[in-house]
Structure 1
């Protein structure tokens, strides 16, 4: 990563700067130039990367210190820096780390001590694979529309319904499942429940292939029985838990996009310097200089929004809904623009399978959708703004 001057910004501390260098060096050594390719067996690659992240101690940042982590509570700036530097080298490595954090995030933030002790130490070492099961065929951005039901049956819940586009689906050891438990209508009638992957009645119906190689699946629950003690928090608190978890991890999606964008700028800059057109390097053309300038400006603006949101959360803010939405929205949209520009500068090579710009182009697209599509982020920002301003 050529430009690391942002590490001197006051949003970050010396421990963050050391972490950034550590992760950057680790990722460069492990993936070299081919981190976006050779994923013939995605499941096996995810397992290998997760084990390596665990051995390096990097994934410890995804759980609290009391359960083997680094920080007393999740440090959002650390999560962002790790995702940024992993994404620069490998989209799959970023995915693996992100899902260890998001998949167990509800337990870290809202779980009981017994639940945390049962699931977090293994997650922090990479021995357990975590998943966050929220999306359904007819309920994505509209969480209140979830129809999967968890009905009380003695001291157990019997869960029935479907989830789809579940990251780590089919390879996870446990899922945090959001289901309707009936305390009230809409958002107030949802609960978060930990479901071990081996629970009878849980079936992986379909593995979903996407343009970037990540393990995704459609899950079916058929009277899948889990103890009531697996419910996280109070009954009916699922919506609050989901939003609180996304509040922490949404900024990190922007950080992953930032890593992709930085790689795009570095690749485009190198290409513009070595490629000659009409007897001179592309980099001498005013049009190309304008493109590079716009990429660099977008990257700095995205970084400022991301680390503003992360710093605000780390300072103890109860919610950073507006800040995280801005960070996620701007960074993912800006990264899409930067990567498209890199493809254009590369010309035909930019759309050739096996080139870094082509891989980045496939990697970035999903980030504008998951954990709240760009259009939803605009609604969140507008509604927060309206609620905070005087008529």
Structure 2
């Protein structure tokens, strides 16, 4: 994507963000349903931003996507995080668009991108399970091929499914019937209205209520073979190990946006008072926050560009783990800085900083978690074969 195209897409994100920003506090407090935020995003022109131009999309690469997500996150972090759940499952298709695929996989790719671009359908990921998080190995949700040979049957429970009751489709990770620790994991596209699909109440979280995250139950859900992701069984773990950027770091842009908003709100608080703005102490505090944010932003941008240049390389994979780790550390650090600088303004429900302080810590809840990021970086430095799935607990 050339810079002009990216600038145009960032303008779309800013327009959507202006509409999303007033909803952030009301959705967070449960006064407004989160569905309204995703209707704005459906109509924003960004739903198919990863789809290639040949398929009617905007053709964003991973690095450009991170920048757009950060722009949205600065306006409404929960909406950006939920929107990322849609793009996480679209990203692999977009990455593969110029790669020749077997007929079944090609048909699946064309169908799914068509649903997004022409149908304006919203997708989400359903991976996490209670006690296991998003790890694929040992997954308890199971699938089997029905006797008709053309239908898969899925049963299981997912614990944290974002866009629950909002998305049109859910890409569900499931393991083949067999040993408990099997690595034979596949993904299936399940429609929200498929018989046997149900959702529990939205989780009451300390932040990110706007992601509409709830448990999902699948009871003998019948999925046609045509909705097996890319038409291939057992490729999910292999894909995550080889090209982990969507699964473990798609969220990073949204949390960078929250960090940007934390700094902007703190700087605005200081500059609103001539006395505060003239204080060398507060100037130094803002300087420290600015330096932290610049470093995180630079790493995120470089990591995203590295994926676009060398997708699947050890260097690119290490960079996205580093970016996820650093953003996860930077957001909470800026939140503490904001509390120190702004005092009661940062804990008042009437000020946006209070919500941002709560949201910043959630970066470390999402995969890959901080210690997993550090483990990957340490193994890369030690020369461990990171293309071997046995090197991880995935």
* Same-fold call, TM cutoff 0.5: yes
**Structure 2 residue 162 is matched with structure 1 residue 176:** no
Match 1:77 to one of 63, 71, 78 = 63
1:240–1:377 distance in 2 versus 1, CA, 3 Å:
same
- Quick one: distance in 2 between partners of 1:125 and 1:223? 30
- Identify unmatched segments of 5+ residues in structure 1: 1-11
**What is residue 64 of structure 1 aligned with on the other side?**
52
Q: Which runs of 5 or more structure 2 residues have no equivalent in the other structure?
A: 97-103, 386-394
Alignment correspondent of 2:79: 93
Q: Partner residue of 2:107?
A: 114
Listed as ranges, the matches of 1:73-222 within 5 Å are 74-109=60-95, 112-124=105-117, 127-154=120-147, 155=149, 156-182=151-177, 186=181, 188-210=183-205, 211-213=207-209, 214-222=211-219
- Residue 382 of structure 1 is aligned with which of 371, 378, 383? 378
Number of aligned residues? 368
Q: Secondary structure at the match of 1:38?
A: helix
Change (3 A) 1:43 1:34: closer
The root-mean-square deviation of aligned C-alpha atoms, in Å, is 2.6
Partner of 2:390: none
Which residue of the partner structure matches residue 100 of structure 2?
none
Q: In the aligned structure 1, how far is the partner of 2:269 from the partner of 2:183? A: 53
CA-to-partner distance for each residue in 1:119-178, whole Å, 9 max, x for gaps?
223324672121111110122153212111101212221111111111112222111111
Q: Secondary structure at the match of 1:221?
A: strand
Residues 102 and 249 of structure 1 are in contact (CA less than 8 Å); yes or no, is this contact kept in structure 2? yes
Residue 33 of structure 2 corresponds to residue 36 of structure 1? no
Tell me what 2:38 maps to. 47
3-state secondary structure, aligned to 2:366:
coil
CA offsets 1:274-299 (integer angstroms, 9 cap, x no match): 346xxxx2333343233212211111
1:199-239 CA distance string (max 9 Å, x none): 21222133223222221111111111112332224221121
CA distance in 2, matches of 1:312, 1:16: 19
CA contact (8 A) 1:182 1:190 kept: no
Q: TM-score under structure 2 normalisation?
A: 0.84
Structure 1 range deviating more: 340-349 or 37-46: 37-46
Residues 64 and 249 of structure 1: CA distance in aligned 2, closer, same or farther (over 3 Å): farther
